[in-house]
Amino acid sequence: MSATVPDLSVEIAGLTLRNPVMPASGTFGWGTEYADLLELSSLGAVVVKATTLLPRPGNAPPRIVETPAGMLNAIGLQNPGVDVVVREKLPPLADCGAPVIVNIAGETVDDYVAVAKRLGASPVVSALEINASCPNTERGGMQFGLEPGPLAELVSAVRAVTSLPLITKLSPNVTDIVPLARAAVEAGTDALSLINTLLGMAIDTDRRRPKLGNVTGGLSGPAIRPVAVRMVWQVAAAGLGVPLIGMGGIMSANDALEFILAGATAVAIGTATFVTPDTCRQVIEGLAAYCVRNGVRSIREIVGAAHRP
């Protein structure tokens, strides 16, 4: 067997990524926090935290609770606002060697539009990811992610003001994800990210109160992987013609392969980075090894392969 290096490159929303592995928004800070432990230029892309128009302090603590094979978070979109993001947070990524994707959130369509416009002016930004799915603020985007109508309106409005590649991140807290995915595609999104966190909560039985300051939070980590794989599978089966970025509980290359085989062109790593900071690197290496082992020349060959009988 020849030891040809497999081709891991993929295209998402018109961007060519060196490999299909990126961090998940909100788990990788502003991209620099993990730079000691992970070479940014080795990543398919760098995805930074949700950015809103005005600064947001975020929710009252506690913001994190561990749960079985997962965690709840209720950060509440803490961020310094798009002006500071553009001025201070993005410039250090200018030469990071990977495309930079900025996750955007807001309370109204106008908020998103304003953020998208401001980010469009930054040379550092390669793509926008619309966060239509944050469960952790009263009006932080999830309302847009629950019904096709409002979602389409949001995506169209952002689409109208940006020529950047546009990714829409969907909420899993819905009865059927396919109509939402379809609405986003029809409104002009170039790619879909799925999934954001599942809405959950935990109760402190001694204090008899919710553990999180925000009462509910978003469940992430390995616990949710079966739900995430199922949603990627469903959206892939609908054949909407845009690439999918799969995420939710990926800890290893094998987990990432479940998403790719289910139909994801790329994957994102969230909670796993907290546990093992170089998970992205391990996944990239593991995908390459899988390809070599199985004679797969390009990772693109196996996207959605589990749908073929």
Partner 1 sequence: MEQVKSRITTTHAEGADCQVLILACPSIAAATQPGQFVHVRVSESADPLLRRPISVMLADRQAGHIRLLVRKVGRGTEALARLPAGATVDLLGPLGNGFPFPSAETSGDILLVAGGVGVAPLVFLADTLQTHRARFRVCGLLGGASDEHLPVWTELAGRCEEFHVSTEDGSAGEQGLVTELLGEHLAQDGTAVVYTCGPRPMMAAVAQMCAEARVPCWASLEQWMGCGVGACLGCVVPAAGGDDFLRVCKDGPVFAAEQLAWEALGQ
Ligand X SMILES: Cc1cc2nc3c(=O)[nH]c(=O)nc-3n(C[C@H](O)[C@H](O)[C@H](O)COP(=O)(O)O)c2cc1C
Question: Least Å distance between CB 266 and ligand X?
Answer: 13
211 binding ligand FAD? (CB under 6 A): yes
101 binding ligand FAD? (CB under 6 A): no
Which H or E run includes 83? helix 82-84
Nearest CA to 48 out of 64, 72, 24, 71 is that of 24
By CB under 8 A, which span of 61-69, 160-168, 170-178, 180-188 interacts with partner 1?
61-69
Q: Round to whole Å and give the CA distance between 299 and 60.
A: 43
By CB under 8 A, which span of 81-89, 91-99, 222-230, 238-246 interacts with a second copy?
222-230
Which H or E run includes 247? strand 244-247
53 binding ligand X? (CB under 6 A): no
Q: Round to whole Å and give the CA distance between 249 and 168.
A: 19
Q: Active-site residue 134, yes or no?
A: yes
Side-chain-facing half-sphere of 21: CA atoms under 13 Å: 30
- Interacting positions 239-278 with a second copy (CB under 8 A): 249, 254, 257-258, 261-262
Q: Which of 24, 65, 77, 164 binds ligand FAD (CB under 6 A)?
A: 65
Is the torsion defined by CA of 43, 129, 12, 26 positive or negative?
A: positive
Which of 123/208 has CB closer to a second copy?
Answer: 208
Alpha carbon separation from 246 to 112, 152, 260, 263 (Å, rounded): 23, 21, 8, 8
Which amino acid appears at position 227 of this protein? V
Asked if 127 contacts 166 with a C-beta cutoff of 8 angstroms, the reply is yes
Q: Which of 19, 22, 28, 107 binds partner 1 (CB under 8 A)?
A: 28
Q: Round to whole Å and give the CA distance between 180 and 206.
A: 40
- Write the interaction track for ligand X spanning residues 259-278; mark x where CB under 6 A is met and - where it is not: ----------xxxx------
118 binding ligand FAD? (CB under 6 A): no
By CB under 8 A, which span of 3-11, 64-72, 112-120, 142-150 interacts with partner 1?
64-72
* Longest pairwise C-alpha distance within the chain: 62
Q: Which two tokens stand for residue 177?
A: 């994800």
Q: From ligand FAD, partner 1, a second copy, none, which one binds at residue 58 (CB under 5 to 8 Å depending on kind)?
A: partner 1
- Interacting positions 66-85 with partner 1 (CB under 8 A): 66, 68-71, 73, 75, 78
Q: Which residues contact 25 (CB under 8 A, 6 or more apart)?
A: 47, 48, 49, 50, 101, 103, 129, 131, 169, 268
135 binding partner 1? (CB under 8 A): no
Which H or E run includes 209? strand 209-210
Question: Least Å distance between CB 78 and ligand X?
Answer: 9
289 binding a second copy? (CB under 8 A): no
Tell me which DSSP letter residue 120 carries.
H
Catalog residues that contact ligand FAD under the rule CB under 6 A. Answer: 62, 64-66, 211
Catalog residues that contact partner 1 under the rule CB under 8 A. Answer: 26-29, 33-34, 36-37, 49, 57-58, 60-66, 68-71, 73, 75, 78, 221-223, 251, 271, 273-278
Catalog residues that contact ligand X under the rule CB under 6 A. Answer: 24-27, 49-50, 73, 75, 103, 131, 134, 169, 196-197, 220-221, 224, 247-250, 269-272
**Active site (catalytic) residues:** 134
